[in-house]
Amino acid sequence: MNSTASQSLLGTEDAAPVMVVNPKGASSFLLIGDHAGNAVPQALGSLGLSDTDLSRHIGWDIGIGELGALLAERLDAVFVRQTYSRLVIDCNRSPSQPDLIAEVSDATVVPGNAALDDAARAARFAEIHTPYQAAIADEIARRDAAGMATVLVALHSFTPAMQGALRDQDRPWHIGILHDGGDTAFAHALLDVLRQEADLVVGDNQPYRMDLIDYTIPRHAYPERRPYAEIEVRQDLLGSTDGCSAWADRLARLLPDALAKV
């Protein structure tokens, strides 16, 4: 199929595609969660997947919705978070990326993403991806107008193990800091303070590199050289409220320490 007719996706029964937690937060840190939710619009059913699959790491960044809300409270920061599963559309990918709407994720076939026509793809982009990115841009513009500083902190989590050839590997890191273009001074300062934590194994652009695949940080941080860091926490450390709370406590302590070093 290659239809170009307009096609609506979200109905009145569906949640808004983006949520802003603590919208009046006064902190210079702006927290963002590209993969914080795993909802699926009712029109898409379950994408042909089980609830178990949607709750796995392929469906979202496990723990990030809870971690982000707790960290926003501790820092008095704004947290802009995505509602829908990364399998509906990945809000950290550009429209040209082949895995924007993945047909296979970590060896799991996603039936509801097979052979989508142009209208179906456009509806997901217009109704989920675009509003999420616009909410981040609007919050930055609001802060700029108010004379507030902005340090972008993208919150992600990673699975301890991936399936498939060439992907099975030990992932010893508890946390990784990703960075590439733009102003990387804050990301490097955060790496420095994390390395002083004796109980942590810290990854520098591990377990992933920030590169041309990433979309949100390059879009919102690079052009104006805004300070940023993309944080990856291992998911088995965020599997409970206690785990999320402990990491929120740690990051609420270390993020300001890192910023003071820039």
Domain ranges of the chain: 18-260
pLDDT reported for residue 163:
63
Q: At a CB cut-off of 8 Å and minimum separation 6, what does 20 contact?
A: 78, 79, 80, 81, 135, 139
Give the separation between CA 110 and CA 32, rounded to whole angstroms: 26
Contact 237, 200 (CB under 8 A): no
pLDDT reported for residue 169:
65
Which helix H or strand E contains 39, and what residues bound it? Answer: none
Q: How many CA atoms lie within 13 A of 56 on its CB side?
A: 15
Contact 88, 121 (CB under 8 A): no
Q: Which CATH class is domain 18-260?
A: alpha beta
Strands 175-178 and 228-234: antiparallel
The one-letter amino acid at 172: P
From the CB of residue 247, how many other CB atoms can be counted at a distance below 10 Å?
Answer: 24
Quote the DSSP letter at residue 37.
-
196-199's contacts with Cβ under 8 Å and 24+ in sequence apart are 197/250, 197/254, 199/174
Q: At a CB cut-off of 8 Å and minimum separation 6, what does 80 contact?
A: 18, 19, 20, 21, 30, 31, 32, 33, 132, 135, 136, 139
Omega before 207 within 30 of 0, i.e. cis: yes
CA distances from 186 to 112, 130, 227 (A): 40, 27, 6
Residue with tokens 């970590």: 106
pLDDT tens for the chain, 262 residues long, are: 344 445 789 999 999 999 999 999 999 999 999 999 999 999 999 999 999 999 999 999 999 999 999 999 999 999 999 999 999 999 999 999 999 999 999 999 999 999 999 999 999 999 999 999 999 999 999 999 999 999 999 999 999 987 654 455 678 999 999 999 999 999 999 999 999 999 999 999 999 888 878 999 999 999 999 999 999 999 999 999 999 999 999 999 999 999 999 9
pLDDT reported for residue 222:
97
